[in-house]
Amino acid sequence: MTEASLKLSVRLEKEGITESGASILRLRRSPVCRDETGIVPDRLALAAEWVLDLDAQYRELILAGRSPRVIVPAGRMAASGRVEHETLFDYRKLQLSLGEIIRPLILDPPELKELYPFQRWGVEWLSGRNGGILADDMGLGKTVQVIAAMRLLFNCAELRTALVVCPKSLIATWEREFSRWAPELGVAVLTPPAQLREDAWKVVAGRRHVLLTNYEQLRHPPEILRQAPPDLVVADEAHRIRKRRSRITSGILQLEPKRFWALTGTPLERDLEDLATLLSMVAPKSFAPADAKLHPSSLRSRARPYVLRRRKREVLEELPPVLDTTDTLELSEAQERAYQTAVREYRLKGEKGDELALLTRLQALCDIDSGSRESCKVDRILDLLGRIREQHEKAIVFSHRLEPLRELQRQITERWGIKAAVFLEGAMDSRERDRAVSYFRNDERALVLLASARVGSEGLTLVEANHVFLLNQWWNPSANDQARDRVVRVGQRRKVRVYRFCCRGTIEEAIERILKSKRELFDDAVERLAQGDSAAWTQVLREVGIERLLLEKCD
């Protein structure tokens, strides 16, 4: 097909209109010039039927014996549907023209030559099934595979509408990837405020190929989605819907789409119920949440046709090596005093049930002493950043607490200027986050991205950096891997250094033992169970013994 705009003067005729309004429409072959357009009439017939289904006025034209003109734009179509003003008129402007809607159907089938072989297999796997869990290792391009599969299905009329639901922080990433990999698809971000919610969804649904939204919008699904479910629902970071009784999970189940694809690199975070819940959503006729009671090997065997998982080491031989090290540090004097004081206070005044608060406080003191601002971790990171700067490379520091990141930012600014450090936290809106990430990627003055682990560890591709600092670690190794794999992923060309820290003689040593144990279990990914929050903390208390918690250092 040429890149010039294709104008089709399509004469359609009615065949067999029933009393219920159903119709069979056939495209007359005579107006179509196959030599110029290369379009098969049957595909034009599908396109014409799509147009008629979308707009009743065209049906009236045809019944009156007139020929509608369908103008199909060529070239790159803007994928962004970002709403700037929250009025219903703004949402009406998101509607595509009829020509734009049928454009994916009449283009030549998309090629997949830019994808890796394992990604092409993932596209084929997804497009060939109604329900499935794409559980590839983080960094292998799950988003790209899904977009390519959707593009194929739109091209062959298997899809007319799709809904992608993801964490709010990832909407811009999806929007950008659609623009790059499927420019002919009309994509709109739809996160309307409560007062416009039902009307906005009703206006846009069915008049864009793909709608992007966040999980919160589906706590109570819009009525139009329940009445006319999208042909495909894609749930990104699908481990967020692992709880069957959550309102978000319940809302998504109400949609009952023809196809449901779940994307997650961690289909098991807590126990077998995580996997059973996801399976019951992608294949409701074959699985139920109660399958969590099955023996793990039995559930794994049944799940195999519905889960596709590949690891980096298996499919990316050319991926640069990763050197992952743990530095054992000594607390500064101020940190040591504050740490001992916290333990003594617990021994004197602590009551049953205060253990979790103590553990949280001790972890925070390993990061930084709030009173003196002393931090052995900050000092070590600054030392390493100086060497990274000399090599003209970039780094990312992830932390579950913002206080040590703020101190790092202050000291980096004093040493290398305000442009050297970029901050990324949950309080920033999506536009601010996008600007921060773009600056870090593209400005050579940006040395380090200081990121909240909760915000920065999902969905971002940051291969511009090749140094990752985990200032503190969560109890679940998969959460730590989420952060690391922002850098260790497709597109990385340099050797990657990952730095972890453990303060000697502190609660971090116990957590390190738990992480090592859980890593041995999680190495089998979907084949082994991970423990939950309460179990992890119980293990900390059992291994360390709250009565003797660091008393050696306090005596």
As a three-state string, the secondary structure of 463-496 is: CCCCEEEECCCCCCHHHHHHHHCCCCCCCCCCCE
Domain boundaries, the chain: 6-71, 88-315, 322-554
- Superfamily (CATH H level) for 322-554: P-loop containing nucleotide triphosphate hydrolases (3.40.50.300)
Cβ-based neighbour number of residue 194 at 10 Å: 7
* Contact yes or no for 7/69 (Cβ under 8 A): yes
Strand partners for 253? none
Q: Can you say whether residue 65 is alpha, beta or left, with left for phi > 0 and alpha for psi between -120 and 50 degrees?
A: left
Q: Which amino acid is at 194?
A: A
Report the distance separating Cα 539 and Cα 521, nearest Å: 15
Q: DSSP secondary-structure letter at 210? A: E
pLDDT of residue 153: 92
Token pair recorded at residue 306: 């519905």
Q: Which amino acid is at 176?
A: R
pLDDT by position in tens, the chain (length 555): 333 233 333 333 333 322 222 222 333 332 332 334 444 456 667 776 777 677 655 556 555 655 545 555 444 444 444 554 467 777 777 888 777 888 888 777 888 888 888 888 899 999 888 888 898 877 788 999 999 999 999 988 889 899 999 988 788 889 888 988 998 898 988 888 888 888 889 888 888 899 999 998 988 889 999 888 999 999 998 877 777 777 888 888 888 888 999 888 766 655 677 777 788 787 877 776 666 666 766 766 777 788 888 877 677 666 677 888 888 889 999 999 999 998 888 888 766 667 778 888 999 999 999 999 999 999 999 999 998 998 899 999 999 899 999 999 999 999 999 999 999 888 888 788 888 888 998 998 999 999 987 775 566 778 889 899 999 887 666 667 777 778 877 777 788 889 999 998 888 888 777 766 655 544 543 433 233 444 444 555 555 444 444 444 444
Element (H, E) at 41: helix 41-54
pLDDT of residue 510: 80
pTM: 0.64
pLDDT of residue 382: 94
CA angle (322, 327, 330) in 5-degree steps: 170
As a three-state string, the secondary structure of 45-104 is: HHHHHHHHHHCHHHHHHHHCCCCCEEEECCCCCCCCCCCCCCCHHHHHCCCCCHHHHHHH
Report the distance separating Cα 57 and Cα 72, nearest Å: 18
496-503 and 162-166 beta bridge pairing: unpaired
Residue identified by tokens 């023996």 is: 295
pLDDT of residue 462: 82
pLDDT of residue 351: 67
pLDDT of residue 397: 93
Residue identified by tokens 């003196």 is: 372
Q: Can you say whether residue 468 is alpha, beta or left, with left for phi > 0 and alpha for psi between -120 and 50 degrees?
A: beta
Domains 88-315 and 322-554 share a fold: yes
Report the distance separating Cα 74 and Cα 5, nearest Å: 5
Alpha helices, DSSP H, located in 372-525: 376-390, 402-416, 430-442, 453-456, 477-484, 507-522
The correct CATH number of 88-315 out of 3.40.50.10810, 3.40.50.300, 3.40.228.10, 3.40.80.10 is 3.40.50.10810
C-alpha atoms less than 13 angstroms from C-alpha of 30 in its C-beta half-sphere: 4
448 Cβ neighbours under 8 A, 6+ residues apart: 385, 388, 394, 395, 396, 397, 408, 412, 420, 421, 422
CA angle (9, 15, 20) in 5-degree steps: 115
pLDDT of residue 75: 42
